[in-house]
Amino acid sequence: MATDRRPEYFKGSQLRVGIIGLGYVGLPLGLRFAEAGHRVTGFDTDPAKVEKLNRGQTYIQHIPQNKIQQFVQSKHFAATSDFSRLAEVDAILICVPTPLDQRREPDLSYVEQTAQSIRPHLQRGQLVVLESTTYPGTTEELVLPVLEESGMKCPIAHGPDNEQIATDFFLAFSPEREDPGNKQYGLAQIPKVVGGVNPPSGRAAVSLYAQIVSRVVPVSSTRVAEMVKLLENTFRFCTLLLLLWGI
């Protein structure tokens, strides 16, 4: 188990990748990393999902069962509800839902609970990436303070003067861009936007995602990456409205 990981470490082969949340975003992402030759551990609080996946069964219509079976049998993918095993992985990707509450505001309780689940098992040099759709500032203002309660630090810093800033772990945001059932453009063909809390975190995340997608788009911060997702969703929503109105 590597304890002295630098950003370039995540360009390596056979990384151990942890995916938290095995829904329509997390499961395809985990299988894509497995397809690229990495060892994937999927984490979920639903024991029924964990049991099905470890038997090689699917519960998402557009994900074929034989694909899950292939990676379970080759030991490139396994699922668990034991969050202590987060200590075993190199990178932790958070793919939990962010539904709207009764006031139509984002419910970030799943994100906060996940960060709290990671904190006691966080290791020096691990990369943590939030993929859940949220508002600008969530990674820095919600996730980072919880992780830093571990005693380790990941300083917020931007610009060329901070390219080599010291950090105990890496933290980034990369919005999920899953298009379920699209046979023409799968996860590997959709560009991935990545922003780090600091430059080393950004480079670490770019190195990781470059192994599974054809194009990675680095941006200057987690806030920019979070805003990209909101603008994309707003554009899609407005386009759908115009189509419905026949304009």
Residue 3, pLDDT score: 58
Tell me if 1 is assigned to some domain: no
pLDDT in tens, 136-170: 999 999 999 999 999 999 999 999 999 999 999 99
Q: Based on the structure, what is the number of domains in the chain?
A: 1
Q: What is the domain-level CATH number for residue 229? A: 3.40.50.720
Which residue range forms the structural domain that includes residue 75?
Answer: 7-244
79 is a domain residue: yes
How far is residue 131's CA from residue 226's CA, in Å, rounded to a whole number? 9
- Whether 218 is covered by a domain: the verdict is yes
Are 26 and 95 spatial neighbours (Cβ–Cβ below 8 Å)?
A: yes
Residue 163 within a domain? yes
Contact assessment for residue 49 and residue 57, using Cβ atoms and an 8 Å cutoff: no
Sheet of strand 216-219, all strands in order from the earlier edge strand to the far edge: 77-80, 39-43, 16-20, 91-94, 127-130, 170-173, 192-196, 216-219
2 found inside a domain: no
Alpha-carbon distance of 125 to 133, in angstroms, equals 25
Range with lowest mean pLDDT among 53-57, 100-104, 225-229: 100-104
Q: Which tokens belong to 111?
A: 């994100």
- Its pTM stands at 0.93
Give domain status of residue 170, yes or no: yes
Note whether residue 154 is domain-resident: yes
Determine, yes or no, domain membership for 149: yes
Task: Indicate the average pLDDT of the chain.
Answer: 93
Quick one: average pLDDT of 190-209?
Answer: 97
Residue 181 has pLDDT above 70, yes or no: no
Q: Is the pLDDT of residue 1 over 70?
A: no
